[in-house]
Chains A and B, each alone.
Chain A
Amino acid sequence: MIQDILKYQYLQYALITSVLVSLVAGLIGVIIVEKKQVMLTGGIAHTSYGGVGLGYLLGFEPLLGAFIFAVTAALGSNLIKNRMTGVSDVIIAIFWSLGMSLGILFIGLIPGYPPDVTSYLFGNILSVTTLNLVLMAIITLIVLIVIVVFFQDWRAHLFDPEFTTIRGKRTKLMENILLFLIAITVVALIRVVGIILVIALLSIPAATASLLTRKLHLRMILAVLFGLMFTIFGLFISAYTMLSSGAVIVIFGFAVYIITYLGTRYLIRVKKVEAV
C-alpha cells in the first residue's frame, strides 16, 4: 500500500485531498449541525450542479461554476429570508430544484456526446486534478483561518446571535461570512463525495463527534479525525475495488456512527449500574 502511494500520483493527490476535506468538513460540519443548517447546506450543494453544467457548456472549470452558484445560493437565500419570514425551507427547495434543473438543461444543450458528470454527482476522490487540489487547499486555508482566529466570536454567535447583536457585534456580517464558508466548503467536497452526498460528509463526522464530547472545539477536532478516517478508508476501498468512493465513505461513516452510538449508550448504562 505504501509503495502504491509512493508510486502513483493520483493516490498522493487523493491522500492530500482527504486531509483537506476532513479539515473543512469537520469545522463547518460541527457548525451547521449545531445551527441546524444541514438542509440549507444540502440545498446549496444541489444548486451548484447548475454551475457544473454551465462550466461544461461554456468550457470553463466546472468547479468554478459550482463555486459561483453555491455562493449565490447561500447569500441569496439569506437575502430573501431577511425580507420574508417563515419560508426558509421553501426557499431551500426552490434553490435546490432550480439549480439541478439548470444543470440538467445546460448539459443537455452541449452539442454531441454529453460529458460524464457522475464524478460531480457521486464524487471520485481518485480523479482529483492539480487544479482541484489547489482550489481545495485555498478553501481549506480560508475556512481554517476564519474559524480558528475568531473562535470565541463564532461560539458566542452560534449560541445566541441576538445577544451578540445587542453587544454591538456585526451579526449580519458574521451570518454572511458563515454562509460563504459553507458554500466554499460544499465546493471543496464535491470532488470527494459528490453533490448528492456532500451533506453526509458534513453531518456524519460532526454527529459522531457530538456523541463523544460536549466541548465545541473538541467536537471540531474529533470531527476532523473522523472525517479523515472515513475518507482514507473510502479512498483505499475504492482504489482496490473500483467501488464509488463517495458511497463507501458515507456507508462506512454511517456504520462508525452507529457503533459509536451503541458504544456510548452501553457505557452510560454500565456507569449507571455502577452508581446504584
Chain B
Amino acid sequence: MSNLIQINDLCVKYGKIEALRDLNLTINEGEYIGIIGANGGGKSTLLKTILGLTKQYKGTITYNGTTLKKSNLSIGYVPQTNELNRMFPITVEEVVLTAKIPLKKSFFYRYSDEDHKEVNTVLEKVGLSKIKERQISDLSGGEFQKLLIARALALNPNILLLDEPTAMVDIKSQKQIYTLIKRLSREMTIVMVTHHVKDITKQAGKLIFLERNILAEGDPEEVYKYAYLKPVGVLNREPRSREVTRV
C-alpha cells in the first residue's frame, strides 16, 4: 500500500475562524476512508484543501511525495450539491463533458466522438445514460448526485473525494449511491464525508471523526462508538491530542 497523500500539521483559517488545526493524515492507495463530524467541523474544508482550492493554509500536503501539479495524480471531486446552481441551463451530458474541455487551446472547442464515448461510459456506470439529454433542473436529488459522481469519474481519477453525496437524497437513492461507491472503491481510493454514520461504518475501511482536528481515527466500529459515547459540544472545547482521544 503506497502513501498517496500525506498531510502534516495542517492549519486552515477563514479570517478569525479556525476550521482545521494541526491536522495530520495519511491517505494510502486503495483505502476507503469515511469522514464524520458535526456541522462546521471542517470536513469540507479538509477536502477543499486537499484539492488545492484553499490557498491560505499552514502545514504541508504532499501528493505521491511531491506537489499536486507534479504528482500526475488525478483527483475526482463530488462537491456538496447545495453549492451549485441547480437551475443552470445545462444538460446531464453537457455537465460531464465539461470534464473533457482541454486545458489549453480550448478556443472554438467542439467535443470529439471520443469525448462523447467516454462520457457515455461513465454515465452508464452511474445509471444515467438514459436521461443524458435532460436538463439538470429536471433531475431528482439522487440523480443530480449521481451526475456529479459521473463528472468526477470522467477525469479518470486515482482518488475520489466525495462531500456528503447522500445528503438530500431519498433512502432508495442513498442505497444506490452507497452500492456505487462500494463498487468504485475496488478501482480507486475513496474519501467520503457523510452524516449517514451507520451506512459509512458498514462500508469504509477506516473512519475519521473530525472536529477541527482528528478526534478519532481507525476501525469504523470503534470510531463510531467513540463519536457517540462522548458528550456533545466538542467544538467549543480545545481539541484534545490524538493519542489521548484514541481510547
Contact = CB atoms under 8 A, between A and B. Distances in A.
Interface of A: 34, 84-85, 149-150, 152-153, 155-156, 158-160, 162-169, 210, 213-216, 219
B220 to A, nearest CB: 28
B151 A163 contact: yes
A168 B103 contact: yes
B77 A163 contact: yes
Contacts of B85: 34, 159
Contact of A163 (B52, B69, B98): B98
Contact of B53 (A85, A155, A165, A213): A165
A245 to B, nearest CB: 31
Interface of B: 14-15, 51-53, 69, 75, 77, 79, 83-85, 88-90, 94-95, 98-99, 101, 103, 106-109, 135, 137, 151, 155
B53 A162 contact: yes
A167 B77 CA distance: 10
A215 B101 contact: no
Contact of A216 (B84, B90, B108): B90
Interface SS majority for chain B? loop
A152 B88 contact: no
B109 A152 contact: yes
Most buried by B among A34, A85, A150, A167: A167
A156 B52 contact: no
Nearest to A36: B85
A167 B88 contact: no
A24 to B, nearest CB: 20
Residue with the greatest number of chain B CB neighbours at <10 A, chosen from A155, A165, A213: A155
A152 B137 CA distance: 19
Nearest to B151: A163
Given A34-B88, A150-B106, A155-B94, 13 more contacts: A85-B14, A149-B108, A150-B107, A152-B98, A152-B106, A162-B79, A163-B79, A166-B75, A167-B101, A169-B103, A213-B89, A214-B135, A216-B90
A162 B90 contact: no
A162 B107 CA distance: 20
A34 B89 contact: yes
A130 to B, nearest CB: 33
A213 B98 CA distance: 21
Nearest to A160: B84
Nearest to A30: B89
B95 A159 contact: yes
